Amino acid sequence: MLEAALVLGCVALVGCKRPLLARDGTLAFQSGEPGQGASVLTANGVEYRDTRDTVPPAPIARRNANEPWRAPVGFILTKDGRFTKASTPTTLSAHGLAITLRASDSRVPSWGGEVLVRIDLSAPGDESSARWGENVAIIVDGSGPDSPALVDAALAQLSARDRVTIVDSRSGRIVVPLMPASYRSMVVAAFKHYMSARVQAPRTMPAALEKAGALIASNDVTRRVLVLTEAAMTREDASAVEQLAQRGVQVGAVQTTGDNLEGRIDAVRTLIAASGTTKFKNVHLTFSGSPAPTHVLEASGGDARWAIDAGELALGDVRAGEARTEVLRVSVPAWVPGEPFKFTVFARVDDAEGRPQQELKTELSFVYDDDIERIAKSRHGDIIAYAAALASLRVLDAAFVGTPANNTGGIRRVATTQAQAMKRLAQDFQDPAMHEQAELLGALLAATSADAK
């Protein structure tokens, strides 16, 4: 009996020790490696939870609809912070529209929690309905209050074929590396994150123009540079613009200050043509859980709405050639371990060409589990990595327990670690697209890191 008590005491001691998060993102435990369990990212940092705890997490009952939703435990990670599973796509398709869903998990906590769902929406266009892709560089000059709105207006004009980069004329820094415009929410978030912590520096517009031209250099596509400025262009600036023009680069400027914001947004739309004609209107997704209820808690883009027992996401209109990637958090109610759980996803699409409204349906299936280590090991690293990068840019913050953990550097470390792990996943699954995304996330995190400022 005494020996058993000593063993239980050691287990409890190890379970209560907080692990140290190393610079490479791995977790080192201070008093020996625990046998079974998972790490949990909380507002206090990374903590360990032993799967052999005698008291399982208790579901949190919400007393009214206005009370904020909370998970019984923090964001679940594997013990070493690395994932070995990748997501499987589920596709909803209509005439000229494809919506691909990828879930972050195959197992969900029996005490209740949430699932991250990545949505890739695309509407392929032909030569008659969509222009060819372009390389677009946006140079931000100064701190004009309308810069975010103008950047967003420019990105809204772009499509899956386009690539975009953002350069700061004040520091010469690359705010966003050249990347597909389909990651619009991530580009906007990276820009806002950078501008919020931007260090003032001397204006170097000619150098910024030269850098932007080099970033978008290509002989195969149209190249554009959009300058968002609060100052008049100097003679040196004009000379740099002329050099770009001689190389076939189209350059335009829009003021970031003034009374007529709508007029300046229209100027951006004139300088950067829309990717194509509107093909679909009011694209709308509904997530209905079984068991219920299910709610869309947060989304990187679109309009998240609560229904009585379901979650909704309105994505708006879609143009020919357009593509976008968004991530949302969907709640999972508590239920019995071993029982199935599923999201029934309904998509409603209004055709801009007058065809009847299209209604699509599919299911995402999961299994309830009360073993936190098993849940952690089954999580999909590609979705976790993408969501962690968004969270580090202050999007989907609540998925990773919000600002306190971000202030400790926990989210960025997790995001950087998962971007690196994603490369290994890509090798294991021989997936070039996943490898490209891992490279993209790594470059974006490096560009927006505090150390690089």
Domains and CATH numbers, the chain: 1-86+380-453 (no CATH), 88-126+277-370 (2.60.40.3880), 134-271 (3.40.50.410)
CB neighbourhood size of 56 (10 A): 16
> Rounded to an integer, what distance in angstroms lies between the CA atom of residue 19 and that of residue 151?
41
Q: Across residues 212-219, what is the average pLDDT?
A: 91
Determine the pLDDT at residue 5: 37
Q: Across residues 423-446, what is the average pLDDT?
A: 89
> Rounded to an integer, what distance in angstroms lies between the CA atom of residue 122 and that of residue 183?
12
The least confident of 126-130, 159-163, 423-427 is 126-130
| CB distance 185 to 200 below 8 Å | no
pLDDT at 62 over 70: yes
Q: Across residues 377-396, what is the average pLDDT?
A: 92
Place of tokens 């260090």: 199
Pick the residue with more confidence: 127 or 235? 235
Determine the pLDDT at residue 403: 60
The least confident of 57-66, 199-208, 406-415 is 406-415
pLDDT at 35 over 50: yes
**Per-chain mean pLDDT for the chain:** 85
Determine the pLDDT at residue 16: 43
Determine the pLDDT at residue 452: 46
Place of tokens 């600036």: 237
Phi-psi region of 316 (alpha: psi -120 to 50; beta: other; left: phi over 0): left
Structure token pair of residue 237: 């600036």
DSSP assignment letter at 439: H
Determine the pLDDT at residue 65: 64
β-pair partners for 417 = none
Q: Across residues 377-393, what is the average pLDDT?
A: 92
pLDDT digits (tens, 9 = 90+) for 269-293: 999 999 888 889 999 999 999 999 9
Residues 6+ apart with CB under 8 A from 342: 289, 290, 363, 364, 365, 366
Q: Across residues 113-127, what is the average pLDDT?
A: 90
pLDDT at 351 over 90: no
End-to-end CA distance of the chain: 59
> Rounded to an integer, what distance in angstroms lies between the CA atom of residue 225 and that of residue 168?
13
> Rounded to an integer, what distance in angstroms lies between the CA atom of residue 101 and that of residue 64?
30
Determine the pLDDT at residue 428: 85
Structure token pair of residue 19: 């692990």
pLDDT at 33 over 60: no
- Among the ranges 30-34, 87-91, 406-410, which has the highest mean pLDDT value? 87-91
Q: Across residues 131-152, what is the average pLDDT?
A: 92
Structure token pair of residue 353: 């060409």
CB neighbourhood size of 22 (10 A): 12
- Among the ranges 62-71, 79-88, 379-388, which has the highest mean pLDDT value? 379-388
pLDDT at 198 over 80: no
pTM of the predicted protein model: 0.86
pLDDT at 114 over 70: yes
| CB distance 83 to 414 below 8 Å | no
pLDDT at 238 over 90: yes
